[in-house]
Amino acid sequence: MAAGRPLRALFFGRFQPFHLGHLRVVEWSLERFDELLILVGMAEESHTPRNPFTARERVEMIRLALSEAGADPARLHVATMPSLPVGAASAHLVYSYTEGFDAVVTNNRIIARAFADAGFRVVRPPLYDRERLQGSRIRELMARGDPEWRRLVPPAVAEYIDSIGGAERVRDIYAGARR
Amino acid sequence: MAAGRPLRALFFGRFQPFHLGHLRVVEWSLERFDELLILVGMAEESHTPRNPFTARERVEMIRLALSEAGADPARLHVATMPSLPVGAASAHLVYSYTEGFDAVVTNNRIIARAFADAGFRVVRPPLYDRERLQGSRIRELMARGDPEWRRLVPPAVAEYIDSIGGAERVRDIYAGARR
Amino acid sequence: MAAGRPLRALFFGRFQPFHLGHLRVVEWSLERFDELLILVGMAEESHTPRNPFTARERVEMIRLALSEAGADPARLHVATMPSLPVGAASAHLVYSYTEGFDAVVTNNRIIARAFADAGFRVVRPPLYDRERLQGSRIRELMARGDPEWRRLVPPAVAEYIDSIGGAERVRDIYAGARR
Amino acid sequence: MAAGRPLRALFFGRFQPFHLGHLRVVEWSLERFDELLILVGMAEESHTPRNPFTARERVEMIRLALSEAGADPARLHVATMPSLPVGAASAHLVYSYTEGFDAVVTNNRIIARAFADAGFRVVRPPLYDRERLQGSRIRELMARGDPEWRRLVPPAVAEYIDSIGGAERVRDIYAGARR
Amino acid sequence: MAAGRPLRALFFGRFQPFHLGHLRVVEWSLERFDELLILVGMAEESHTPRNPFTARERVEMIRLALSEAGADPARLHVATMPSLPVGAASAHLVYSYTEGFDAVVTNNRIIARAFADAGFRVVRPPLYDRERLQGSRIRELMARGDPEWRRLVPPAVAEYIDSIGGAERVRDIYAGARR
Amino acid sequence: MAAGRPLRALFFGRFQPFHLGHLRVVEWSLERFDELLILVGMAEESHTPRNPFTARERVEMIRLALSEAGADPARLHVATMPSLPVGAASAHLVYSYTEGFDAVVTNNRIIARAFADAGFRVVRPPLYDRERLQGSRIRELMARGDPEWRRLVPPAVAEYIDSIGGAERVRDIYAGARR
């Protein structure tokens, strides 16, 4: 790939949970960049309908999934970031708090705009089975007790979520929020 | 009760306003624990539809209601806490910033989950007339000008809310939010 | 006007964007007060449906519009303020962080209540064509690609928004938020 | 005392640890006010030379000392507050987050000034053996392993500090800070 | 000056208090730029030895001094900013929260470095009688009761500080901090 | 090593800059644990005497040094963390925001105490040439223009610092702070 300094991309998300769509974006990115920084946002929030899993659990899911997929750990970094205000100044904050990057990989139009307006390069990966592979949909399946969610995440993630009673937690949280 | 160190429970809420359901949870808790810490959350917010009353006003309501009910002040503590991110780490923050507790009394499934996942003991009090005794319902009655709200809070609280023009404030705030 | 110390009013808003209704409130205020402090709230947020423009862009819009309207710069101050919790304590924070004021000009009932309960004088300007002159309506026109928004803001603001591709940004952000 | 509404005073400190000088200010205040709110500041900090004890431990010390002294729990409230910026706006924050107060009891000239400039009434208690009864001096005795510190705090506080290995912690922290 | 868009410079400081050295930097800047944004930092702090005056008081001092000096209000803006972490990311925050600027005017090497490393243009004004014109020295004169401080600030600032009892406040604060 | 789940240790520091003593702690830890999480604290601060380098630069230094030393990237994780209040609650925050750990590796007595009091296992690595290998000493050498600092950091770090003009920045910052 790059002859001189390695090219690094940022992949930013909440990963609630890390699913097969995320995994494919990782693979797509590693074909185009030397290194990928996977940044887990809203690290301080857990136990809510949008963010049921803790930062620790999400990092663990990502590591397990990447290891299962045989990804090269020297080319992949995982880090966490507390909630930031949405905006162009936050793009600079993300850049300063991490090891830096040459491009941002995202299909989220708002994140794309904020980074682009702050002067960063943004690239759009293809959408993989977008109807099914969405975090909100997967959490709703968990909340309904529908085991279909297991087919939408990497096997190692399904196993890990089972080991921490994750689907039950999501059910409890959704029930609590409806009150 | 406990032979050695007194057992202390945490009762966590926004208390917008403190109503008869809250009072019964206090009474139920004092039958099971030596001391109860009533913690008023989201202390920094007031004048919104969800949190019309200031922390100062909410603490005052609680003190007046407990005094009216003849509760033993040596067994009851009231404190405030700014908004925290929902999550397991916040359970530890609450524990460190207060005098500590042996159990958490709550019917809120999300709070119950967050404290339980952080390793705390959680107990569920019975629900008292849940259809009527809800903060959101009481605030809506105030916003509609329906005096029925006065029957859902302890008399001392109704009197205090009247003394600060509280129902009128709620009406103004609900009207402003609808715009 | 005032013989002794000049009377200063606060006009608080998000100004997303600064429109003709805002301009009329400024003019109305300058007839009643010696000086007006226009305070741009939620300064840290941009690139969201509610707050598409950065603080920098909003201050620029306001300066351009006031200059176009021939307003006296010695009587007008523009400043920014990060998001504050809604409440009476925040009214004091706003007072301490700015050059101070003798009255608050607002039609927002919640802001009016919070400042009044904190002991400040609140005055209500007339509503100017409220059906059309609302920030949320103007942003929706932009998101739909309807050029009508240009007639609801001062010409200098329309020109500035065009120069930064502002309507396209709003369209992108609204599309991203719907996903 | 007061015929109508009870008069309440605020006593604000870090209480690292709660010592005999603090206890005398409490007693002096209870002769002049109906209720006293003891507010423990810098609640989020512990394990530093200035703030070795957690908020939880400090509240516990205060409760044990007041109980030992036979103080009336109905007239005494203890609460915690995270660090605030020093300044007049913070005086209003303290007022809003607590149950309120009619006067501030303090010998600290900076706190006295900040509350006075914000419009609050400030009263100065007499100084009790100021040379010996200072938190910083007591912590230094602990750090040096000098048991004299035990004579400067209420017996119940000395016993509590022993039960948590507090003097050893202070020694460790002072040694770590010198590095 | 500039043919097209006006050139704007940022002058960043704490202004505790605004003194004759500051005034000369303003004058020097107005000879080189079309507009100057005077940004008052650490807005949330007051009543400390380093920051005895509130943001409101500092903005007032600046306005009075500029008016006395006959400066053109259309070319001068004054705003406040809460404390930021020192660093390159903060330079972007300052840029986003204000109306923006083309250059930073400062003699502070740390601020100069932080803005330069973030990609901003930095210019250094000449030093005016640096031995005498320093905020810390002026505050020490006030604390000692030495009226010499009055000759180091613009007459309008001296008058304003007298009107709020500012020198006495500084004396109290310095005395309190020495304890 | 461990038969079941891998054992992970936390190595927490500011790494201003990452020096040979840090590198030896990494090596010592990898002999005892399966994985090591290197956590870069005070991520938001840069351009100060204590923290001249940004989080991005510090992560880059660590990656370059570990790669040069031939360390296995699959066993090493690097992440950043904003400043936290010192205290037991922060130990839980660090645990929740990262992928978790079984032990904390530190020679800092304060950090050791805070994590131990929060219930974590703490291990102390040997001290490597402590007189010479200290961040503060290395920064002072840089500030004085003494090239000796190059022999106290891994060669890749020296090269990287040269590439960003790091020693000159430290000199500027120290000179600015002395004023």
Amino acid at D58: R
E97/B14 Cα distance (integer angstroms): 33
Phi-psi region of C52 (alpha: psi -120 to 50; beta: other; left: phi over 0): alpha
Contacts of B152 (CB under 8 A, 6+ apart): B19, B20, B132, B133, B137, B138, B141
Over residues F49-106, the pLDDT tens digits come to 999 999 999 999 999 999 999 999 889 999 888 887 777 778 888 888 888 899 999 9
CA–CA gap between residue A167 and residue A64 (Å, rounded): 18
Specify if D2 maps to a domain: no
| Cβ neighbours of C150 (radius 10 Å) | 17
For residue F150, is pLDDT > 90?
yes
Q: How confident is the model at residue A19 (pLDDT cuts 50, 70, 90)?
A: very high
Place C2 in a pLDDT band, splitting at 50, 70 and 90: very low
Burial of B150 (0-12, 13-18, 19+ CB in 10 A): middle
Q: Spell out, as residue ranges, where chain E has pLDDT lower than 70.
A: 1-4, 178-179
Residues 6+ apart with CB under 8 A from C119: none
- C158 inside domain: yes
CB atoms within 10 A of CB A5: 8
Question: Which residues of chain F neighbour D175 with C-beta distances below 8 Å?
Answer: 109
Q: Which residues of A touch B86 (CB under 8 A)?
A: 45-48, 51
Average pLDDT, chain A: 90
Torsion of CA E37, E38, E39, E41, to 10 degrees: 160
Collapsed DSSP state (helix, strand, coil) of residue B103 = strand
CB contact under 8 A, E98 and C46: no
Contact call for residues F35 and F27 (beta carbons, < 8 A): no
- A123 at E interface, C-beta within 8 A: no
* Better-scored residue on pLDDT, A94 or F161: F161
Q: Is D164 on the interface with C (CB under 8 A)?
A: no
The DSSP bridge pattern shows strands A76-80 and E103-105 to be unpaired
Amino acid occupying residue B6: P
Report residue A178's pLDDT band, with 50, 70 and 90 as the boundaries.
low
Q: Do A172 and B108 touch (CB under 8 A)?
A: no
User: pLDDT band for position C151 (50/70/90)?
Assistant: very high
Q: Which two tokens stand for residue D177?
A: 């800070």
**Quick one: how many helices (H) and strands (E) in chain C?**
7, 5
| Position C1 pLDDT exceeds 60 | no
CATH number of the domain residue A121 falls in = 3.40.50.620
The answer to whether the CB atoms of F82 and A80 lie below 8 A apart is no
pLDDT at E4: 65
Q: List pLDDT tens digits, range D125-143.
A: 998 888 889 999 999 999 9
Residue A122 bridge partners (DSSP): A104
Q: Tell me which H or E stretch contains C30.
A: helix C20-32
Q: Is A42 left (phi over 0), alpha (psi -120 to 50) or beta?
A: left
Question: What is the predicted pLDDT for the residue at C6?
Answer: 84
Mutation site for C-interface testing, chosen from D81, D92, D93, D95 by largest number of C Cβ within 10 Å: D92
Q: Specify the DSSP class assigned to residue E132.
A: T
Taking an 8 Å cut-off on Cβ atoms, the answer to whether E112 and F45 are in contact is no
Q: Is B42 left (phi over 0), alpha (psi -120 to 50) or beta?
A: left
Q: By the 8 A CB rule, do E167 and E142 touch? A: yes
Band (B6; pLDDT cuts 50, 70, 90): confident
Residue A1 lies in a domain: no
Residue F154, min C-alpha distance to chain B (Å): 36
The residue among C169, C13, C171 whose CA lies nearest residue C81 is C13
CA atoms within 13 Å, Cβ hemisphere of C21 = 22
Q: For the residues C95-103, what does the mean pLDDT come to?
A: 87
CB–CB of C29/C102 below 8 Å?
no
C46–A88 CB contact, under 8 Å: yes
Measure the CA dihedral C142/C146/C149/C155, to 10°: 110
Separation between Cα atoms, residue A14 and residue C70, nearest integer Å = 48
CA distances from B103 to B111, B116, D116, E17, F121 (A): 12, 10, 41, 52, 25
Establish if D84 touches chain F: CB-CB under 8 angstroms.
Answer: no
H helical segments located in chain D: 20-32, 55-68, 88-97, 109-117, 135-144, 155-163, 166-178
Nearest CA in chain C to B57: C88
- pLDDT band of residue F176 (cuts 50, 70, 90) is confident
Q: Is the separation of the CB atoms in A109 and C176 below 8 Å? A: yes
Residue type, A83: S
pLDDT at C153 over 90: yes
Residue A152 or F119, more confident: A152
Residue F109 lies in a domain: yes
Measured distance CA(C74)–CA(E63) in Å, rounded: 10
Question: For residue B132, what are its two tokens?
Answer: 């009527």
Residues with Cβ within 8 Å of residue C19, at least 6 apart in sequence: C133, C135, C138, C152, C153, C154, C157
Query: Residues with Cβ < 8 Å from F170, sequence gap 6 or more?
Result: F52, F139, F142, F143
* C2 within domain boundaries: no
Are A173 and B113 inside 8 Å of each other by CB?
yes
Asked if residue F116 belongs to a domain, the reply is yes
pLDDT band at A1 (very low <50, low <70, confident <90, very high): very low
**B4: pLDDT confidence band, cut at 50, 70 and 90?**
low
How far, in Å, are A92, A124, B151, F65 from residue A100 at the CA level? 10, 19, 60, 17
Say which of B85, B89, B108 has its CB closest to residue A176. Answer: B108
Partners of residue A16 in chain B, C-beta under 8 Å: none
User: Can you give the three-state secondary structure of D150-167, one letter per residue?
Assistant: HHHCCHHHHHHHHHCCHH
* pLDDT one-digit tens code per residue, A94-123: 888 888 899 999 988 888 988 998 899 999
E with B: 3 or more CB pairs under 8 Å?
Answer: no
CB D14 within 8 A of CB D42: yes
Question: For C43, which residue in chain E has the nearest alpha carbon?
Answer: E97
Q: What is the 3-state secondary structure (H, E, C) of E72-102?
A: CHHHEEEEECCCCCCCHHHHHHHHHHCCCCC
Of C47, C83, C175, the CB nearest to A88: C47
Q: What is the per-residue pLDDT for B3?
A: 47
Instruction: Flag if D169 and F85 touch (Cβ within 8 Å).
Output: no
C19 touches chain E (CB under 8 A): no
- How many interface pairs between A and E have CB atoms less than 8 angstroms apart? 20
Q: Is D48 an 8 Å CB contact of chain F? A: yes
Q: Is the pLDDT of residue B2 over 90?
A: no
* Contact of E124 with E28, CB cutoff 8 Å: no
Quick: pLDDT tens for D69-93.
999 988 999 988 888 777 777 888 8
CB distance from B117 to chain F under 8 Å? no
Residue B120 forms part of a structural domain: yes
pLDDT at B111 over 60: yes
- Residues 6+ positions from D21 with CB-CB distance below 8 Å: D127, D128, D129, D130, D133, D134
Judge whether C50 is closer than 8 Å to chain B, CB to CB.
Answer: no
Range of the domain at F96: 8-178
Percent of chain F with pLDDT over 70: 97
pLDDT of residue D99: 82
Q: Is residue C3 part of a domain?
A: no
pLDDT attached to residue F118:
87
Q: Could you tell me the pLDDT band of residue A3, with boundaries at 50, 70 and 90?
A: very low
- pLDDT score at B99: 82
B113 reaches A (C-beta below 8 A): yes
Q: How far is CA D80 from the centre of its chain?
A: 10
| C134 pLDDT more than 50 | yes
pLDDT of amino acid B178: 63
CB contact under 8 A, D60 and B100: yes
Distance from CA of D107 to the nearest CA of E (A): 9
Q: How far is F157 from chain A (nearest CA, A)?
A: 14
**How far D34 CA sits from the closest chain C CA (Å)?**
25
How many whole angstroms separate alpha carbon A120 and alpha carbon A113?
A: 10
Average pLDDT over residues F21-44: 94
Chain E residues touching residue A88 (CB < 8 angstroms): 96
- Chain D residues in contact with B45 by the CB 8 A cut-off are none
pLDDT tens for F103-145 read 999 988 888 988 998 889 999 999 888 888 999 999 999 999 9
Nearest residue, CB atoms, D86 vs list E47, E169, E172 = E47
Q: How far is A84 from chain B (nearest CA, A)?
A: 13
Chains F and D touch (3+ CB pairs under 8 A): yes
CB pairs under 8 A between E and F: 45
Q: How many domains does chain E have?
A: 1
Q: Could you tell me which chain E residue has the CA closest to the CA of D110?
A: E173
- Annotate A109-128 with DSSP letters as a single string: HHHHHHHHHTT--EE-PPP-
Q: Give the minimum alpha-carbon distance from A95 to chain B in angstroms, rounded to a whole number.
A: 24
* Confidence category of residue D4, pLDDT binned at 50, 70, 90: low
Best mutation target, C99, C101, C163, to test chain E (most E CBs within 10 A) = C99
Closest listed residue to residue B114, CA positions, set D72, A39, A177: A177
Chain A interface includes C47 (CB < 8 A): yes
DSSP E125: P
* Other beta carbons less than 10 A from residue D119's beta carbon: 11
More confident position, C134 or D89: C134
Three-state DSSP state, B9:
strand
Query: For residue C152, what is the DSSP state?
Result: G
The separation between the first and the last C-alpha atoms of chain B, rounded to the nearest angstrom, is: 54
Residue B28 and residue B1 in contact, taking contact as beta carbons nearer than 8 Å: no
- Does the beta carbon of B6 lie under 8 angstroms from any beta carbon of chain D? no
Give the separation between CA D46 and CA F87, rounded to whole angstroms: 4
Residue with tokens 């709110």: D37
Name B41's Cβ contacts closer than 8 Å, sequence gap at least 6. Answer: B12, B13, B14, B80, B81, B83, B84
Q: Label residue E136 exposed, middle or buried (CB < 10 Å: 0-12, 13-18, 19+).
A: exposed
Regarding chains C and D, contact by 3 or more CB pairs under 8 A is answered as yes
DSSP code of A158? H
What residues in D contact C93, CB-CB < 8 Å?
A: 89, 92-93
B79 near A131, Cβ under 8 Å?
no
Residues in chain A: 179
pLDDT class for C4, splitting at 50, 70, 90? Answer: low
Spatial separation of the C-alpha atoms in residues B66 and B37, rounded to whole Å: 13
The neighbouring-strand residues paired with A80 are A40
**Nearest 5 degrees, angle CA D120-CA C85-CA F44?**
105
**What integer pLDDT is reported at residue A4 of this predicted model?**
65
Tell me, yes or no, whether chains F and B touch by having 3 or more C-beta pairs under 8 A: yes
| pLDDT confidence tier of residue B88, bands split at 50, 70 and 90 | confident
Tens digit of each residue's pLDDT (9 = 90 or more) over E61-112: 999 999 999 999 889 999 888 887 777 778 888 888 888 899 999 988 888 9
Residue bearing the bigger pLDDT, C69 or C74: C69
CB contacts, 8 Å: A179 with chain B: 108-109
Distances (CA, A) of A31 to A18, A98, A107, A115, A127: 20, 22, 17, 22, 16
Q: What percent of chain A clears pLDDT 90, i.e. is strictly above it?
A: 66
